[in-house]
Structure 1
Amino acid sequence: MRAVLHSERARLTALYGTLLVLAGGGLVALVNVLLRKGLGSRVSGAVTTVMPGVPIDGRDPVPGEKVFVPARKLPPGVAPSEAQLAQWAATKNVSRAAEQAALHELTVVSLVALALFAVLSVWLAWWMAGRVLRPVGVITEKARRLSGANLHERIALQGPPGELKRLADTFDGMLDRMEGLVTAQRRFAANAAHELRTPVAVQRAAAEIGLAGDPDPQKVARIRERLIAVADSSEHLIESLLLLAVSEEGLESVEPVDLAALAETELAAAFPSGGSGEASDAAPSVVRDLAPLTVSGDGTLLGHLVRNLLANAVRHNRAGGRVFVATTADGVLKVSNTGPQIAAADVPRLLEPFRRRAERRHTAGEGAGLGLSIVASIARAHGAELLAEANPEPDGGLTVRVRFPAAPGPGRAGVRRDR
């Protein structure tokens, strides 16, 4: 009972019912007030026209006939007779009695009607409040039953546009985002476990099979090199996962960073020969257009952003291809490469963790599929917009643009959040 009394439906019922009862009571009171003002004169006029009257000209009525004389004023200077005074008194008494009886009957009928109206109003208010709050109950029940196993369910409220319809649609949109995040988290955990399990399995197989018995020194050396390569790959994967986690937490410090100079430094490290292609016929050439560009952010994370973009552009290039790097004064970092043709529908998928253009073959220098996802995470941490698009034929490859904000907005969530 207490739960019902403290429910929103009970409050709305009390509010609607009270308003309806007050409106009905006000209407009854207004009708009574208006009738009281004119009821006396109306009853008196009606009674006067139906009661036998006395002629004011002094003529006697016809014997045996009742004379009905409408109420009139006496001429000036004419005094009423005893019969006229008696007739007036009788008329007044009858009129007052009729008026009081009509008012009493009207009051009783009005109160009875008001009581029935109050009961009907409370019932209608309860029914209407239930109708109005039904979508809220559906949303509440859906939220109570939600778990990781039924995140695919939606409210899908059917009804005319309104506040509750927008609330249900907003809740469905929130469920879509939650389902996407949970799915991405599960996929990330499964992929990370798979990626970490593979090198462990390789190391175990190399140790158990390659070093079984009494292997010769050359075999031991090969197994040693293999184990070191697998360890390096595992270390790189773990560092990439840590970097992805750090970038997702936000920025620890913010300072002006010369992005053009940073890109030049990373280019020098990635292309010791200057990117002319002379060191190897298969090495891609570099085209640079580095306009002065200073952004606010974390220099270390921005260095990883540029480094991952360059590594991705080189790894997925073709023999004798090209890498184009540019910075613009309006806050855009652009990295483009030539390479295999990529379908436009596959580009968003490449920005997700452990996503590759082709299936992994576990070959040297293949990468873990975290490069572009790290770039996207660092860009989000800096409030930058990342846009990736496939290059048309015949060049192929991918173009990635990172547009940094012109100035750090006040209160922007760019500082690392405490957990």
Structure 2
Amino acid sequence: MSRGRFAARPGFRLRLTLVFFAVFVVAAAALLIIEYGVVSALFDRSLANAFVITPAEMNDPSAVSDPSATSWIVQSGDGAFLDSNAGSTVSIVADAQAATRDEVLNGLVLWSALALVAFSALGSAVAWWLAGRPLRRIRDVTALAQNISEHDLTDRLALTGPRDEIRLLGDTFDDMLARLQVAFESQGVFIANASHELRTPLAVIRTSLEVALRRPHIAGDVRTGIERALRANERSESLISSLLTLAGVQNAERPSKSSQRLLPLLCGEIDAYAEQALQRDIVVLNACPPSVRAMIDTSLFALLFTNLLSNAIRYNQYAGSITIECEQRADKAVLVISNTGEMLAEPVTDLVKPFHRGTSTRLSNQIGGSLGVTPGSGLGLAIAASAADALGGTLSLEPRNGGGMRAEVVLPCSE
């Protein structure tokens, strides 16, 4: 089920209130029907006992002077005799009984219906209030879950009140956050230690090889082997640096963001990569207007853009082009980097996965070490995606018409 279908449904509090309201109305209506039946039966019984109408001859046969005429004796419930010697008395009493019965029952229905409406409204208000009390605590859990991230695990719910199911949920959530915080802090310590332990021996190896390479008398095959070892060492250092950068971005503290104009930042990074683009005669066109702003951390944005720009250069064709565009869309800033190149026959979304460098066709266009650019490690787009996520934005990739790739970054303009 899509998110849109969920959004179209009424809220849980409203649905719970409607359930309470429906149960109340059904119960009250059933009570009204039962009350109507009981009162009607009791009223009929009471009226039947109020007047006893019998033929006169049943009480005193000698009272009947004319056998063809019918004489009646009407006796009230308290035993008093009413003078009646005509059949019209029976009709009058019966009509009075029916009128009284209808008046009482109609009044009962009217006032019961009015009471039902009034108490239904009151019951709905009480149901809304009762439904909101537990849901308020659930909203606290939801708000914290929405704001929490791997960059900040220090917040806790610390729910108070009775130890019911909702408080148990909050306490369980707090315990989970505490365990996650310990795990991420341990991972950060491991990354710091790994950074030192992995880089130090590689730096020692590189220094030793460079010293050996500077000796005046080295055989040609030995020199070739040392140069090959230096290139392998350089790639290992680049790979470790990229891995640590990726891990650092994914586990960094929440960035301190501010509103920044994108154009100066883009121009500075483009100048830094101008030599690499010039080596393959690649034209970089910056079409970003100066007015576009985004809420960013400058170091994270530089990491995001440089990895996208480096990828666009490395996997471009000779004498190709790179176009950089940006625009303001409502409360979002959109940055688009398009580069020429071979047609991509694979799902480009896989390229943001670590160590996924694409097909052999894509790799065949990669700049070699002879041009001063080392082959890619397959982590550039993964780092860019993680940086975009840390900035509260998104990175999407798609094949470019005519070959190459189009990368679109959407960044927020406000907190």
**Structure in which a larger fraction of residues adopt strand:** 2
TM-score range, shorter chain: 0.3 to 0.5
TM-score (norm 1): 0.47
Structure possessing the higher radius of gyration over alpha carbons: 1
